[in-house]
Amino acid sequence: MHRSSSLRAQLGLSRPTRSMADGQFVLALVAGCLIGVLLTVLAGGSGWQDADLLSILSLVLWAPIIEELAFRGVVQGWLASTPVGQKRFAGLSFANLIAAFLFTAWHLVYRTDLMAWLVFLPALVFGYFRDRYDSLLPCVILHAAYNAALLPGWYLFS
């Protein structure tokens, strides 16, 4: 029993240890969504304007859950238990920095445009809140909201 609860905690499959109503989380949520809309406007709205409902649900629901489980849960969770992952740089854990780098590399596998490179910054935000709350829930919420914020720009300005 102890082993499974330890694994669950390492993966971030627990309730957040703090209230997600703190100012940093709200600021990250609002600012990230506004930046997402702005980026799609600046990019000319190119994106998913012809996407079907299943594709949009994938972007807003399934991708955040699966990617956060993989990168912030498995990768960052495991790295956080290592001496290297516990080191910090500019207030961020090395576990977060490495997971964000791998997250960006994953996006570069199937996209090569500027938006693929720009996922590094949100990935750092997701990882920061993974460290802050010891939970994936804030990461999934932010990731889903950021992805959803791309849609208005794609639809309105394409």
Distance, in Å, from the CA atom of 119 to the CA atom of 156, rounded to the nearest integer, reads: 22
pLDDT digits (tens, 9 = 90+) for 120-131: 999 999 999 999
Q: How far apart are alpha carbons 23 and 31 in whole angstroms?
A: 12
pTM for this entry: 0.89
Mean pLDDT is highest, among 3-7, 39-43, 120-124, for: 120-124
**Radius of gyration of the chain from its Cα atoms, rounded to whole angstroms:** 16
Question: Are 142 and 32 in contact, with CB atoms under 8 Å apart?
Answer: yes
Domain that holds residue 84: 49-158
Tell me, what's the pLDDT at 45?
62
Tokens describing residue 125: 């935000």
Q: Across the chain, how many H-helices and E-strands are there? A: 10, 2
Encode pLDDT of 52-101 as tens digits: 888 888 889 999 999 999 999 999 999 999 999 999 999 999 999 999 99
Which amino acid would we find at residue 81?
S
Stretch 105-134: mean pLDDT: 92
| DSSP character string of 37-101 | HHHHHHTTT-SSTT--HHHHHIIIIIHHHHHIIIIIIIIHHHHTTSHHHH-EETTEEHHHHHHHH
pLDDT of residue 119: 93
Q: Is residue 19 part of a domain?
A: no
**Would residue 89 count as lying in a domain?**
yes
Structural domains counted in the chain:
1
User: Quick one: pLDDT at residue 7?
Assistant: 81
